[in-house]
Amino acid sequence: MFGLKNDWDLEPPPRYFTLEDYEGGVARWCPGCGDLAVLTAVQKICRDEQIPPEKTVCASGIGCSSRFPHYMNTYGFHGLHGRALPVACGVKARRPDLDVWVATGDGDCCSIGAGHWVHATRYNMNMVVMMFDNHTYGLTKNQSSPTSPVGYCSNTHPEGVWLPPLDPISATLGFTNASFVAQTIDWNPLHLYQVLRDAHAHVGFSFVRILQRCPTYTSMMFDELQQDPSKILLIAPDGEELDPTLTRTYKNTVKHDPTDIDAARKLGSQNEPLPIGVLFRQPDHPVYGDVTERGIGMGAREKLEALDREMDRFMV
Ligand code: SF4
């Protein structure tokens, strides 16, 4: 071509995504809300893993944390109360190539969405499910949720909750085919990041319970855990080194084999000290996506891949 040297490379440079590429609308959670920390952690993981925004889907139900998809510059589906998981499973069934993140709250997941929670766990589709647990319905102005502790006074229980709370970790570990169960806290960004990163790396349904501060309604709920690190038990999975930044803060550590379901159930059911980290990980459990991917058929799959290649040319 006139004016160009023969060895000039006309290939566009590879895309590199920065944090800004994942930033959606300005988050409208209350100041100090733990949801902000989770949003930051997910955006960092997307950046560090270089997941194309157009290959990422965030699905949610209803509640404060379910505003999550609005704040990610990816595809998103802000669904109905308790229906984040059916939407996410539907997306994953037809587009297994997409990276799916689910934002659901303790009310959304453990109450109205409880039936979906059981079956989505059993389907074991490849997605990260973040269960933001602040022990209350924040969006609807403080009603007791299934995880509200005994004695908690809310608009629905002004004299205090009297039933013992549901334990999301023990429950999930009891569901058939559960393959990844973890627990973390929003006020330690490193631990939050590492657990969500591990959940993302796992191929299957990764359930992460995040203890999430709600300064508006349940500000006192996690005070003790925050102020006294001895109330936290850091899980050290066999064969993995814990980050010294974490062990400097949390002196209580426990060695744990995350493939041992009985040990995971025993550890996960305790509250004092509260175990945080990966409780259970079993990569060999059947993944429903393996079946649906075969169902799509090679013809359709090749067409999808060709379409993606076409789109990539325009996204540079
Ligand atoms: S009400 Fe609570 S959970 Fe909802 S945005 Fe405000 S601080 Fe966050």
Q: Is the pLDDT of residue 149 over 80?
A: yes
pLDDT in tens, 21-55: 999 999 999 999 999 999 999 999 999 999 999 99
- Mean pLDDT across the chain: 92
Q: What is the pLDDT of residue 302?
A: 63
Q: What is the pLDDT of residue 56?
A: 98
Task: Look at residues 298, 284, 101, 107 and name the one whose alpha carbon lies nearest to residue 208.
Answer: 101
Q: What is the pLDDT of residue 298?
A: 45
Residue with the larger pLDDT of the pair 6 and 232 = 232
Q: What is the pLDDT of residue 141?
A: 92
Is 67 in contact with 243 (CB distance < 8 Å)? no
Q: Please tell me what DSSP assigns to residue 200.
A: H
Domain of residue 226, residue span: 29-315
Which residue's alpha carbon is at the smallest distance from atom 6 of ligand 1?
A: 30
Q: What is the mean pLDDT of residues 141-150?
A: 96
| Residue 291 confidence class, pLDDT cut points 50, 70, 90 | confident
Q: How far is the CA of 209 from the centre of ligand 1 (A)?
A: 17
Q: What is the pLDDT of residue 293?
A: 66
Phi, psi of 255 (to 5 degrees): -75, 140
86: CB partners within 8 A, 6+ apart: 79, 116, 120
Q: What is the mean pLDDT of residues 175-200?
A: 98
CA dist 277 and 312 (Å) reads 37
Task: Look at residues 82, 85, 83, 87 and name the one whose alpha carbon lies nearest to residue 137.
Answer: 82
Q: What is the pLDDT of residue 242?
A: 94
Structure-block tokens of residue 18 = 């920065």
Q: Is the pLDDT of residue 169 over 80?
A: yes
Which of 244-253, 279-288, 300-309 has the least mean pLDDT?
Answer: 300-309
Q: How far is the CA of 137 from the centre of ligand 1 (A)?
A: 9
Is 38 in contact with 195 (CB distance < 8 Å)? no
Task: Look at residues 95, 22, 32 and name the one whose alpha carbon lies nearest to residue 53.
Answer: 22
Residue 16, domain member (yes or no): no
Q: What CATH number corresponds to the domain at position 274? A: 3.40.50.970
Q: What is the mean pLDDT of residues 249-273?
A: 96
Q: Is the pLDDT of residue 191 over 70?
A: yes
Q: How far is the CA of 175 from the centre of ligand 1 (A)?
A: 29
Q: How far is the CA of 256 from the centre of ligand 1 (A)?
A: 34
pLDDT in tens, 60-81: 999 999 999 999 999 999 999 9
| Residue 94 confidence class, pLDDT cut points 50, 70, 90 | confident
Q: What is the pLDDT of residue 295?
A: 57
| Residue 102 confidence class, pLDDT cut points 50, 70, 90 | very high
Residue with the larger pLDDT of the pair 11 and 194 = 194
CA dist 290 and 12 (Å) reads 34
Residue 82, domain member (yes or no): yes
- Please report, rounded to a whole number, the percentage of residues in the chain having pLDDT higher than 70: 90
pLDDT in tens, 224-257: 999 999 999 999 999 889 999 999 999 999 999 9
| pTM listed for this prediction | 0.91
Say how many domains are in the chain: 1
Which residue's alpha carbon is at the smallest distance from atom 8 of ligand 1?
A: 33
Q: What is the pLDDT of residue 274?
A: 97
Q: Is the pLDDT of residue 215 over 60?
A: yes
Report which secondary-structure segment, H or E, holds 39: helix 35-49
Q: What is the pLDDT of residue 76?
A: 97
Residue 24, domain member (yes or no): no
- Taking CB atoms and a 6 Å cutoff, what residues make up the pocket around ligand 1? 29-30, 33, 35, 64, 134, 138, 214-217
Q: Is the pLDDT of residue 312 over 80?
A: no
Which residue's alpha carbon is at the smallest distance from atom 5 of ligand 1?
A: 29
